[in-house]
């Protein structure tokens, strides 16, 4: 409303600036998560919504059994409300990313509900969870193909470190590609969410990085100077991205070791889904591999562990492990690293990945 009142005086004109509204979204989301955190934790405790710890995981994690989970709802609520307050809600970039955020959060909530409320240890059956993620991802890809939201063809995507090259995908392969990115990123963040504050901090770093890229891609002058695609209206995504980062930082106050609450699949799938959606909308899917390098490392560790286990069982008759435990953050725990040290060092790697992504702006 303030945005449209800007013509009435200079006091309201500041709301025209994306940078101001993005900063406001970050502070609002952080504040909401920080203030509502204790109430959310008390509510989860009264509802007996406690974490279920797998017996085949690290033995040091058994003490975490019963810690309130499904706290990701706090991130979704804080970031969602902040976005509604500060973003331009007629902007298609904002609407599509917010829809992905809420849809993936709903799938995660269903999984958490079945797991901790209904007592089904496995939660939502894996194939049904994947079906929900892929259905939404394919639907998003099909929508972007039939109703492009930018002057550029939807099946064009940027290649990091190259200003004069772009990858052009076959239209129908593009739809599958979008489904893969949304589902893959959601599950990558979900796999990373195994230590107190690990996924939360990494998501704050990744979302903040994409906020900067969204702002640059939405500016004709900056995008031309840096050799990037110009996507009119994409700058609004920086408001949502910083709202997500703020929600993660506010949640981290209660999620840092020793955690008072876990985000559960409600948070991890929502955060991973919206990160993938932002990459798709900004035509920066390959940049996502760099920004989310730690998430990629976590997924690869699981793939390599399973593949090596099956190969050695077939080749030698006795299965062997490549890592002491996967995902890889558990491997370092098994080496004797304290949990807090693993988390902080992975955050440092996440910041390093963000810096490499920013270097791609000039190495083009």
Residue 61: predicted pLDDT: 66
Arithmetic mean of pLDDT, 16-25: 93
Q: Mean pLDDT over residues 268-278, rounded?
A: 97
- Dump pLDDT digits (tens) for 178-212: 999 999 999 999 999 989 999 999 999 999 999 99
Distance of alpha carbon 240 from alpha carbon 263, whole angstroms: 19
- The larger pLDDT score, comparing residue 187 to residue 121, is at 187
57 confidence band (pLDDT: 50, 70, 90):
low
* Domain residue ranges of the chain, discontinuous segments joined by +: 6-359
Predicted local confidence at residue 353, as pLDDT: 97
Which two three-digit tokens encode residue 288? 């996502």
| Cβ pair 74, 246 in contact under 8 A | no
Residues near 343 by beta carbon (within 8 Å), at least 6 away in sequence: 195, 196, 197, 198, 201, 257, 329
Condensed to tens digits (0 to 9), the pLDDT of residues 214-231 reads 999 999 999 988 888 899
- Whether the per-residue pLDDT at 357 is higher than 80: the answer is yes
H or E element in which residue 27 lies: helix 18-46
> Residue 154 in contact with residue 169, Cβ under 8 Å?
no
Distance CA 262, CA 250 (A): 13
For the cut 80, the answer to whether the pLDDT of residue 120 exceeds it is no
DSSP tag of 50: B
> What does pTM read for this prediction?
0.93
How far CA 125 is from CA of 70, 139, 172, 258, 270, in Å, comes to: 18, 21, 28, 30, 18
The reported pLDDT for the residue numbered 65 is 72
Residue 25 has pLDDT above 70, yes or no: yes
């Amino acid at each position: 409303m303030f945005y449209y009142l800007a013509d009435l005086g200079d006091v309201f004109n500041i709301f025209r600036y994306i940078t101001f509204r993005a900063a406001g979204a970050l502070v609002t989301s952080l504040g909401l998560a920080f203030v509502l955190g204790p109430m959310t934790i008390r509510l989860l405790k009264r509802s007996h919504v406690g974490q279920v710890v797998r017996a085949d995981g690290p033995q040091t994690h058994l003490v975490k059994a019963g810690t309130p989970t499904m706290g990701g709802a706090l991130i979704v609520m804080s970031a969602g409300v902040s976005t509604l307050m500060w973003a331009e809600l007629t902007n298609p970039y904002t609407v599509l990313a917010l829809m992905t955020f809420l849809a993936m959060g709903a799938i995660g909530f269903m999984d958490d509900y079945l797991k901790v409320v209904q007592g089904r240890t496995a939660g939502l059956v894996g194939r049904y969870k994947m079906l929900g993620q892929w259905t939404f991802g394919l639907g998003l890809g099909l929508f972007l193909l039939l109703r492009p939201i930018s002057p550029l063809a939807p099946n064009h995507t940027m290649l990091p470190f190259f200003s004069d090259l772009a990858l052009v995908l076959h239209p129908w392969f593009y739809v599958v590609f979008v489904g893969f990115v949304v589902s893959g990123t959601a599950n990558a963040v979900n796999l990373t969410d195994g230590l107190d504050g690990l996924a939360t901090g990494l998501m704050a770093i990744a979302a903040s990085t994409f906020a900067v890229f969204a702002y640059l891609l939405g500016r004709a002058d900056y995008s031309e100077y840096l050799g990037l695609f110009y996507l009119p209206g994409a700058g609004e995504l920086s408001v949502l991205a910083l709202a997500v980062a703020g929600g993660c930082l506010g949640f981290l106050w209660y999620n840092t070791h020793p955690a008072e609450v876990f985000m559960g699949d409600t948070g991890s799938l929502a955060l991973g889904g919206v990160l993938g959606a932002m990459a798709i909308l900004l035509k920066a899917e390959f940049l996502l591999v760099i920004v989310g390098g730690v998430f990629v490392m976590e997924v690869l560790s699981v793939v390599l562990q399973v593949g090596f286990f099956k190969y050695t069982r077939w080749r030698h008759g006795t299965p062997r492990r490549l890592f002491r435990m996967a995902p890889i953050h558990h491997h370092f725990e098994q080496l004797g690293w304290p949990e807090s040290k693993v988390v902080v060092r992975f955050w440092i790697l996440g910041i390093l990945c963000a810096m490499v992504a920013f270097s791609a702006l000039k190495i083009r």
